[in-house]
A = this chain, B = another copy of it.
Amino acid sequence: MKLNFKAIFSILGLLLMLNGGFMLMCLPVSIYYNDGDWHALLISGIFTLLIGLITYVLTKNQSNGGLKKRDGYLVVTMGWLCMSLFGTLPYLISQEIPFFTDAFFETLSGFTTTGASILNDIESIGKGILMWRSLTQWIGGMGIIVLTVAILPLLGIGGMQLFVAEAPGVTPDKLKPRITDTAKRLWLIYLGLTVFEAILLKIGGMDYFDSINHALTTMATGGFSTKNASVAYFTTPFIQYVIIVFMFLAGTNFTLTYFGLHGQLKKIWGNEEFRYYFSFSAGFVILITAVVFFVTDNSFESSFRDSLFQLVSIVTTTGYVTADYTNWAPLLTVIFFMLMFVGASAGSTAGGVKVVRHVILLKNSIMELRRQIHPAAVLPVRLNKKAVSSDITFNIMAFMIIYFMVFAFGSILISALGYDFNTSVGAVATCLGNIGPGFGKVGPMDNFAFISIPGKWILSFLMLLGRLELFTVLILFTPYYWTKH
């Protein structure tokens, strides 16, 4: 069966129209703050809208039969790439980021909700463009919700089938009805939480602009800030606690939040991934707080807040910073490095491996020890009291192995450009996990500006790989995908 390119382009057209629309939404901001970038946003917006419209109109009625599974991999990967490609226009036209590689890195870092930045001085950038920067993450978050709820499970990727059965109003059917039903409900929650956080941040003392921007990038677990010092700029404990709570929510399966808002609180604690996500975070916060309290002169409350903030920021793959954890203690550097391989819940906007996969891997490891003793016994892994098929466990293990392979290979490539051990493994772990800050020279207080052009392209590719759950992108590199079936 041939790939349905017309249907694919039709969707890309729709996405570009959406993209252009969002660019135009930044226009009033630019005009209000009189930052001189309004023309860049206007041109980018109209151009992107037009290209999208033309593509859509040319392909709309000719796309017969809709998308098949095999088209799915291509449309998702192309979707993210197209959005990022056109998303560079506001940066390039306004000359706020004059080089294409930098602009593409920053935009892809946005749409993949990574939050790694090449900007040395964020505060010197026009407000309209900063708004666009934050919006790329928020749009990326919207995309991830559709992707994980509606598309990835159909593509059969890395255990994403596991939590779909739990999604509200979902029966394994075609692509369309699911997107229009489940995704819309979850988008509403996503939007609602963003508005709610923005209001709380405003109450906490941020101005309108900062509160909206931080709300947008918190809920996307993106981590772009409007300040050079990231959230460390806002020293009010209230603001930091608000962001912690919303980062944690953004890293929670939106389906559970949906149930929570409908009063079905039992379902939340009944969800095994959530229990692990919560307990695991709580356990590490106690440990990290204790260490920070001992090795620094900070008060207990400030040690607790810093520890909690950094932990939740890394685990949810947000990447905001209020303190430089690499200066705390070697133990914490190692812990934060390992945490980069965890990720938050599936069905949230968080990147990385995801807690549910680790739960399966952990349980399966213990079970495999039992299976050694009794190879004949059927000993499936159980999640939420149901047996997980060995196919899914197999797939999740393969996912994890490929994740490590990509990490190892990526680290070798980055170090081949001359960066030291810590910088290389830190940059790769943080980009692949869609986090933001890493270690070494790309630590919490640094940025990615100094990375060479090839390095930025390699890291961009890793951000895309990580965000699209590896398989979606890697499948396109197998000759098998492109041969006729």
Contact = CB atoms under 8 A, between A and B. Distances in A.
A420 B330 contact: yes
B372 A157 contact: yes
A425 to B, nearest CB: 7
Contacts of A334: 411-412, 415, 421, 424-425
A157 B371 CA distance: 10
A338 B412 contact: yes
B390 A70 contact: no
A252 B421 CA distance: 30
A402 B365 contact: yes
Copies of the polypeptide in the assembly: 2
A79 B393 CA distance: 34
B394 A333 contact: no
A327 to B, nearest CB: 12
A70 B335 CA distance: 36
Interface string A443-480: 00000000000000000000000000001001100101
A422 to B, nearest CB: 7
A370 interface: yes
B424 A422 contact: no
Contacts of A395: 368, 371
A299 to B, nearest CB: 24
A364 B397 CA distance: 11
Interface in A391-425: 391, 393-395, 397-398, 400-402, 404-405, 408, 411-412, 415-416, 418-422, 424-425
Given A334-B425, A362-B405, 6 more contacts: A334-B421, A364-B401, A368-B394, A394-B397, A397-B398, A397-B401
